[in-house]
Structure 1
Amino acid sequence: MKPRTRDIALERMQILIKNAISNARKDPQLSQRQALLACRISTRHKIKMPYEIRMLFCKKCKSFIVPGINSRIRLGRTSVKSIRVTCNLCGHVYRKLIPQ
């Protein structure tokens, strides 16, 4: 794939995700649709999504989750520091370890 096409695809994905985050509270269906389009661009052009964008998708139901709107973020209180993200749509909890 040409580097120019890859750059354009990455830029479009970032624009769609930014719009999806801003529309999440007002119109959740539009937000889900924009996130789905960003995923489609990623698969069509065989581009791995950046980490910041990947973290906005539930690992179980693959839906678009925005922290504080349709997901819950908590800090773990054990000796191993972690962030717990709970999807409000399917209830799946996944943890992200915080390096110390």
Structure 2
Amino acid sequence: MKPSIRKIAMERMQILIDNAISNATKDPELSQRQASLARRISSKHKIRMPYHLRMVYCKKCKSFIAPGINSRIRLGRASVKSIRITCNLCGHTYRKIISQ
């Protein structure tokens, strides 16, 4: 694949995710649609999404979760510092380890 097409696809994914996050409170259906379009661009052009874009999707139901809007974020109390994210759509909880 040409590098120019890859670059354009990455820019489009970034724009769609940014718009989805900003529209999450006003219009949840629109934000879900924008996030699914970004995911389709990624799969169509066989581009792996960067980590900061992948973390706005639920790992179980694969739906878009806006931080703090349709997900719950908590700090872990264990000896290992982590952030626990709970999807309000499917109820799945997963952790992200915070490096020291």
Summarize the alignment of residues 1-100 of structure 1 with structure 2, pairs less than 5 Å apart.
1-100=1-100
Q: 1:62 Cα shift?
A: 0.4
Q: Deviations over 1:59-87 (max 9, x none)?
A: 00000001110001100111111110000
Q: Percent identity?
A: 78
Structure 2 segments unaligned to the other structure (5+ residues): none
Which whole-Å CA distance do the structure 2 matches of 1:14 and 1:96 have between them?
21
Which whole-Å CA distance do the structure 2 matches of 1:84 and 1:11 have between them?
29
Structure 1 segments unaligned to the other structure (5+ residues): none
Q: Deviations over 1:30-60 (max 9, x none)?
A: 0000000000000000000010010000000
For normalisation by structure 1, the TM-score amounts to 0.98
Alignment: residue pair count: 100
| Structure 1 letter corresponding to 2:42 | S
For normalisation by structure 2, the TM-score amounts to 0.98
